[in-house]
Chains A and B, each alone.
Chain A
């Protein structure tokens, strides 16, 4: 428990300070709370988060794929797979940190209840951040399983690198989501985020078509978007070659993740603990 592990003795609180064989970080209790709730509602949640992108990928991949033939030298379905993976990971992290986190923070007052315990706001937001990433990982793994099952990937070993890409993408979008959540007055507010940021980004970042189809200035603007960098990492790994500028892609995603989280933390502190 972060150096605060002195036993307070006398009233059975020893467990709070390390009676367990190893002491989990404090944010883990927040993660666990979300996991326990998710377990109860897993059915519809899995269907919504996982089946939806798969249907799009397979529908568009086979349907449009027949018309398009090959894109960048591979069948359209193969081209689309990496885009769908990144898109799906982004969606999971975004929905979890916008709508679900907002319910817990604003509607159910779950965060306020937790803040009355030894946990701090940093613990709460770390728990939420990592929880959203866990859900992203689940979405990403579902798409990845289909990629494996359909034999879309050129090199299996290389697709294992998609796992850290999924986590990194989840961290970036969950960080941004927590930032938005901190300033949201109500659920409707999130529509601005989707309409003004997420949707244009999906169209510009190369989910459905190569970005070189875009006018030069738009393609340049797309370089500032996190999803572009997630796809720049994911697509080559599916197609069986190394990304061109992996370090840049990783750094951009990390920057979005850390900046989003830290600004989100500061704004949430101002909102709840002023």
Chain B
């Protein structure tokens, strides 16, 4: 049974459909990513999926329960890592976990038995009695992740789990998430980071303006939507060289002062560039970010 099924979901705010006829099915034991620019409807989709808000149209089944009617029962087997820090600053690490366990109806002894293992998982062993304000940003995120696991959930929903973290802290969170996937948990996460999605997700839905505009494995998205090579060209005389680029590449586009050349045969492009004085370039394989920008455009969403 799929842990989460969204069927033709619509949610409007003041006449604007923030989620627009969106359908989605998450496979058990997999990590599913929701990618999209700011305001694309990712967080609203998650809130609908948790039964926190009501859809204007459509159906939601979370772990087999119809939502929002049975949201409370369904959420007993779900863990949530919200976007903003919501740890209790007056509590220690241990007290945060104890209080959260109580919201799931877990007794003190039961939660306490689980705490050492959760702290080890979150690389917070030895921090049980630390006050929350003394923790670093990465530690707080990991504690939030540990808190989401207090009820041993089947499905874990993460809203931008690594936003604002430095590279070391991000890698530590990724390790944790991989362990969860390995244990057979289902993960649903939103992210801005293409490398994060590419690393963690088995399947990705790209959302824009409340609709899913593409959905597949990361590899298939890259193979299916974009040329395999990208040459980023910048420097003096770029405008004059553009005509040559258009002959050699399938697709070229400007972003600021840089020309992105998407090519099947990068050798021809780089050979031509090597003969150009003043132009510099970077050749790399196409990645998810290229797919994302192609599908959602390069305009800022603010």
Partner-B contacts on A (CB < 8 A): 1, 4, 6, 8, 11-13, 15-17, 19-20, 23, 26, 29-30, 32-33, 36-37, 40-41, 108-110, 112-120, 273-274
CB contacts (< 8 Å) of B73 on chain A: these are 4, 6, 8, 118
Which residues of chain B come closer than 8 Å to A36, judged between CB atoms?
91, 95, 99
* Most B-side CB within 10 Å, residue of A12, A30, A114, A117: A117
With A11-B152, A115-B52 already in contact, the answer to whether A16 and B76 are too (CB < 8 A) is yes
Partner of A273, one of B53, B88, B103, B154: B53
A119 to B151, CA, bound (A): 13
B151 / chain A contacts, CB cutoff of 8 Å: 13, 16, 117
- Closest A residue by C-beta to B152: A11
B25 in the interface (beta carbon within 8 A): no
Q: How far is the CA of A17 from the CA of B104 in the complex (A)?
A: 9
Q: Which of A4, A6, A40, A118 contacts B103 (CB 8 A)?
A: A118
CB-contact partner of B75 in A32, A118, A273, A274, under 8 A: A118
Q: Is B77 an interface residue (CB 8 A)?
A: yes
Report Cα–Cα, A32/B101, bound state, in Å: 12
Chain B: CB-nearest residue to A111: B86
Answer yes or no: B271 CB below 8 A from chain A CBs.
no
Which residue of B88, B105, B153 contacts A33 across the interface (Cβ within 8 Å)? B88
Whether B102 and A116, one on each chain, are in contact in the complex, defined by CB atoms closer than 8 angstroms, is no
Q: Which residue of A lies closest to B153 (CB)?
A: A11
Q: Give residues of chain B (14-53) contacting chain A, Cβ–Cβ below 8 Å.
A: 50, 52-53
B76 lies within 8 A of A8 (CB): yes
Shortest beta-carbon distance, B142 to chain A, in Å? 16
A95 vs B250: C-alpha distance when bound (angstroms): 67
Which residue of the partner chain, among B50, B95, B107, B154, contacts A20 with CB atoms under 8 Å?
B107
A41 touches B90 (CB 8 A): yes
Partner of A16, one of B53, B88, B95, B104: B104
- Chain B: minimal CB distance from A36 (Å): 7
Write the B267-299 contact mask toward A (1 if CB under 8 angstroms, else 0).
Answer: 000000000000000000000000000000000
Find A15's partner among B88, B95, B107, B147 (CB 8 Å cutoff): B107
Tell me which residues from 90 to 125 in chain B have a Cβ below 8 Å from any Cβ of chain A: 90-91, 95, 99-100, 102-107, 110
* A55 nearest CB across to chain B (Å): 28
Structural contact, B86 and A108, CB atoms closer than 8 A:
yes
Complex formed: what's the CA distance from A35 to B82 in Å? 25
Contact of B152 among A12, A20, A29 (CB under 8 A): A12
User: Which A residues touch B253, using CB under 8 A?
Assistant: none
Closest Cβ–Cβ distance, residue B290 to chain A (whole Å): 34
Bound state CA distance, A4 and B69, in angstroms?
12
10 CB contacts below 8 A, A to B, read A11-B77, A13-B76, A15-B105, A16-B104, A19-B107, A30-B103, A109-B86, A110-B88, A113-B100, A120-B71
Give Cα distance in the complex from A49 to B96, angstroms: 26
Which DSSP category, helix, strand, loop or mixed, fits chain B's interface?
A: loop
CA distance A273 to B84 in the complex (A): 16
**Cβ–Cβ < 8 Å partners of A274 in chain B:** 13, 53
The reply to whether B72 and A118 contact each other, CB–CB distance below 8 Å, is yes
Q: Which residues of B contact A15 (CB under 8 A)?
A: 105-107, 110
Pair B103/A117 contact, Cβ less than 8 Å: yes
Check if B235 is an interface residue, CB within 8 A of chain A. no
With contacts A19-B107, A109-B86 taken as known, whether A119 is within 8 angstroms of B77 at the C-beta atoms is: no
Q: Which residue, A13, A41, A115, A116, has most C-beta atoms of chain B within 10 A?
A: A116
Given known pairs A110-B88, A273-B52, the reply for A8 and B77 (CB within 8 Å) is: yes
Smallest CB separation, B159 vs chain A (Å): 10
Q: Is the CB of B105 within 8 A of A40?
A: no
Report A-chain residues with C-beta under 8 Å of the C-beta of B147: 113
Please indicate the chain B residues that have their CB under 8 angstroms from the CB of A23 in the complex: 105
Q: Which residues of A contact B77 (CB under 8 A)?
A: 8, 11, 13
Tell me, rounded to whole Å, the shortest Cβ–Cβ distance linking A123 to chain B. 9
A-B interface, 5 closest residue pairs, ranked by CB to CB distance from nearest:
A109-B86, A16-B105, A113-B86, A117-B103, A116-B80
Kindly report which residue of chain B lies nearest to residue A11, judged by CB atoms.
B152
Most buried by A among B75, B85, B95, B99: B99
Instruction: Say yes or no: is B2 at the interface (Cβ < 8 Å to chain A).
Output: no
Task: Give 15 A-B pairs besides A8-B73, A11-B77, A36-B95 with Cβ atoms closer than 8 angstroms.
Answer: A1-B105, A4-B72, A15-B110, A16-B151, A33-B102, A36-B91, A37-B90, A108-B86, A108-B89, A110-B88, A114-B103, A116-B50, A117-B75, A273-B52, A274-B13
Bound Cα distance from A236 to B151, whole angstroms: 52
Hey, which chain A residues are within 8 Å of B84, CB to CB? 109, 112
A215-B297 Cα distance, complex, nearest whole Å: 71
Q: Which of B13, B100, B102, B151 has the most CB of A within 10 A?
A: B102
